[in-house]
A = this chain, B = another copy of it.
Amino acid sequence: MISTFLQRLTSRGMATGIRHIRLLTPTVQAMSTSAASSYSFETIKVTSPLENVYLVELNRPDKLNSMNTTMWREVGVCFNKLAEDGDCRAVVLSGSGRLFTAGLDLSDFGDIVGVVMGDDDIARKARKLKAVIEEFQDSFSAIEKCPKPVIAAVHNACVGGGVDLICSTDIRYCSSDAWFQVKEVDIGLAADVGTLQRLPKIISNESLVRELAFSARKMFSSEAEKCGLVSRVFDNKESLLTGALEMASTIASKSPVAVQNTKTSLVYARDHTVQEGLDYMKILNMSMLQSEDLRIAAMTQMSKSKEKAVYAKL
């Protein structure tokens, strides 16, 4: 049924589109193997185990991947860089070692304590605290602003700041031993880097969200799956990582124009009315429908061979 369409759509592609594909192919492959090596951080580790797929690991295993200020900052820097990296089309976020993350590394927040305990005027302390909170928020929001899909792969503990972190990702998988804890009330504060804002929009079982947030009780993998915090549970960390990377690879094989506009449109839609979401798509797709990716996608579907479509970097 779609053949007429494809013939028309690809008639020009035969002349010009194919040329693009050929030209792009070697470049893409050459870069994708080595690109991840330019990411060098103290607390996180970045590799590219599959073509166009990056694996970002929280990497302080001896400290239970607890989040010190360096890690917080590096997460932001890393995802801002991934946003611009044409070799990266999908990201898996996991924790190295025994567990995903034990949450805030309170031993590293001396500066904030210094502000709070200092002799400054309340208004001036407030201004400084606001700057710190903003920096922390922006670091995690970088994951949401990065147009490449990010899959969190959680094993064992995901506590406090860890929940804020995964709420900024797109897809959440976990292993059966995983547990989650919105920990903030236990240190006397209302969570301010994403959990209270994003979690209710992720699972929308309001009763459960509030129970977790008010009581700081643990939630285990089966409940997390049932309420939709995670969309798949795997047997163990190994199968979890395999599953997450496979999904990432599937995503990475699609048109990056299609995938990345899908992500930014979903984020936009979450925060707007349906009509505003539709209006946004109109403005966005009036250029994006002119992309050569549509032609390439159509040619791929038409061809009976199992050859993979090759899209230019984005």
Residues of A bordering B, CB below 8 Å: 1-6, 8-9, 11-12, 20, 63, 66, 90, 105-110, 112-114, 116-117, 120-127, 129-130, 133-134, 137, 141, 144, 149, 170-172, 184-194, 196-198, 200-211, 213-217, 227-231, 247, 250-251, 254-255, 257-259, 261-263, 265-266, 269-275, 277-278, 280-298, 301, 312-314
Instruction: Say yes or no: A187 contacts B312, CB within 8 Å.
Output: no
Q: Give Cα A203–Cα B153 distance, bound, in whole angstroms.
A: 22
A296:B188 contact, CB within 8 angstroms:
yes
Docked Cα-Cα span, A275 to B201, in Å, equals 13
Among all A-B residue pairs, the 7 with the closest Cβ atoms: A287-B287, A205-B228, A123-B291, A188-B297, A197-B277, A204-B204, A271-B273
Contact of A129 among B113, B117, B228, B286 (CB under 8 A): B286
| Given known contacts A185-B254, A270-B200, A278-B137, A125 and B194 CB-to-CB distance under 8 angstroms | no
Contacts of A112 in B (CB 8 A): 289
- Known interface pairs A1-B105, A314-B124; A278-B197 also in contact (CB < 8 Å): yes
With beta carbons under 8 angstroms apart, the residue of B137, B250, B265 that contacts A282 is B137
Q: Report the bound CA distance from A314 to B121 in whole Å.
A: 10
Residues on B with beta carbons closer than 8 Å to the beta carbon of A277? 196-197
